[in-house]
Each structure stands twice: as structure tokens, then as C-alpha cells.
Amino acid sequence: MKPIKDMESTFQASELTLAPDGSLYHIRLKPYELADNVIIVGDPARVDMVARHFDKITIRKTNREINSCTGEKNGTPITVISTGMGVGAIDIIMTELDACCNIDLQTRQVKQEKRQLNIVRLGTCGSLQDNACGDFLCSKYVIGIDGIMYFYKTNPQVMEEELANNFVSFMQWDRTLPRPYALKASEELLKKIAFDIPQGITVTAPGFYGPQGRNIRLQTAFPNINTMLPDFEYKQTKITNYEMETSAIYAIGRNLGHNCITLCVVIASRKKGDFLNDYSKQMDSLVDTALQRLC
């Protein structure tokens, strides 16, 4: 299924927003500055951590919380870009990454020949199972409880409707909340990068506190959510973790024809009540592993 915008001939300036230099308005990249292999990180400072593993750096860009760097690793071109936190930021980054490689920014028309990106998110998460702080987890599936994908027309072939339906039924999902949607990571990247990393179902929440069942001063409306989530299972795979970006990465990326996968370092054990403040060594190890396998 073609994205709906492929049917339009030209994108207006108010729809496809560009910077004064002709690059994409937020990411500030031009097509020749974007590699086919892309590392996505939330923290702008983590861009430098990833770039230190490159053999060569050719381009650096910065705009607001969005830093990017393009270079090479083992002779393979690669880009790392920061997003900030949450699915709203991911909506911007994923849309502009695709536009950067699949829309002619001068004519504002969709290109006939499409580029396919390998997009790898390297982030942090909170575990809902027995995984300890510092462990690695891969999001084989993701369930989005954020609702962002309902603003788009989707390709049924990439949506995991059975998983979403089973989840809604098991959780007795409240109708006042956005209906969960689900997707799977790229099979190619699962085999290439995450073959020996524990894999599970990730729940992407639209926030850090209440949406992930944290009671601070404002009490949550659904106090049993974190006792129910760990018991859900789909195709012998359990819900392993919470985070705030993967659903939008998989949903937008896969519907646009890109390969996507998320790898995280566990920094909070919701079951044990532990939190890892300094995870720099673990993150550096995850970055090295992902880059060596991707490149």
C-alpha cells in the first residue's frame, strides 16, 4: 500500500517545511547528508557517544535538541541523530528522515525510486520482568498505548492486529484511553543485530509518570496496570519493558517501508524498585555491539 501522500503531485511549503538552506526544517539534513543506516538516540549528548565509535566523521548538524552526525564505520556510511523524548518528537524525526531520502526537496515531489533505511533506536527502558538494571533488551514487538498512529492511514500488512486485539482483551482496556496498536521489528534486523539479545514485547507509553503507572502526587487512574502487564503473553513472548518512543518508530517507519528495531539498556526495574543512575558503560557497550553488527 502506498502512503496517501504519494498520490499528490507537489507538497506545499506549509506541509513540507524546509529551512532556509533547503534542508528539512527540524533535522536540518539534506539527502546526501543522510546515510541508509541510521542510529536514533533520545539524548542529544548521546550522539557524541555514538560518533566516537565511527572511523570517520564527515558531517555534523545541530538544531534545538536535534543533533546529528554522519560518518563511516567499517567502510559503511552511518548517521546518528537525537530526537528528544516521546512519540511526538519521533513523529517529526521519522517523517523528516523519510522525506529526506524519498522526496525531491527542490520539486517537492515524491521520488519514483525509494530508499530504504535501516533505523536502530538505542535507548533506555524500564523492565517489567526479572531483567536487572544494566541488561540489554530488544523490542521484538511493540504495543503503542499513545494513540499517535490513529492520525495516519496504515498498511494492514505491517500492523499486528491480532496482538493488539489480544492485549485489549487481556487488559480489559478502558475505552476512555487510546486503543493500543502493535507492530513487529524488522525480521532482517532481528537476525542481524539482536540474535543473542533477550527479546520481548515493549509497551510504549505517552509519558514517564502516570502513563507508566508511577504514582507521585497525582494518583494514577489505573493502579493495576503494572501487575497485569507482566502476565500478558503472545506467541510465547512476554511484555518485558516500558519506554516512550518505539511504537512511533515502528509504526511510521514500517508503514513507509523502512527496517526498524529498538535495543535498550534497562535502567529501571519496576519489579524490584531499582534504578541505575549511571549507565554510560552499559550504553557504550550496546552502541559498540549494534554498530559492529549493523556495519
Mention the CATH class of domain 8-294. Answer: alpha beta
Measured between alpha carbons, how far is 112 from 229 in angstroms, rounded to an integer?
A: 43
Cβ neighbours of residue 21 closer than 8 Å, sequence gap 6 or more: 28, 30
With the C-alpha atoms ordered 22, 25, 28, 32, is the resulting torsion angle positive or negative? negative
Q: Which three cell numbers stand for residue 34?
A: 543522510
- Give residue 4's pLDDT: 46
Task: Tell me the torsion sign for CA atoms 14, 18, 20, 25.
Answer: positive
Residue 33 has a pLDDT of 98
pLDDT of residue 239: 98
How would you label 249-272 residue by residue, b for 16+ Cβ within 10 Å and e otherwise?
bbbbbbbbbbbbbbbbbbbbbbee
Cα distance between the two ends of the chain? 30
| pLDDT averaged over 10-residue windows placed end to end, the chain, 295 residues | 56 96 97 98 97 98 97 98 97 98 96 97 97 97 97 96 98 95 98 98 97 94 95 98 98 98 97 95 98 96
Closest CA to 205 of 185, 226, 224, 187: 226
What's residue 201's pLDDT? 98
pLDDT at 9: 73
The C-alpha atoms of residue 109 and residue 56 are separated, in whole angstroms, by 33
Strand partners, 60: 69
Q: Which long-range contacts (CB under 8 A, 24 or more apart) does 271-280 make?
A: 271/127, 271/128, 271/129, 271/130, 271/230, 272/132, 274/132, 274/133, 275/133, 276/133, 276/134, 279/124, 279/133, 279/134, 280/49
Four-point Cα dihedral 119, 124, 126, 129, nearest 10: 60
Q: 181-184 and 136-144: which strand pairing? A: antiparallel
pLDDT of residue 1: 43
Among candidate residues 38, 28, 26, the one with its CA nearest the CA of residue 117: 38
CA–CA separation, 217 and 229 (whole Å) = 23
pLDDT at 8: 54
User: What are the residue ranges spanned by the domains of the chain?
Assistant: 8-294
Element (H, E) at 229: none
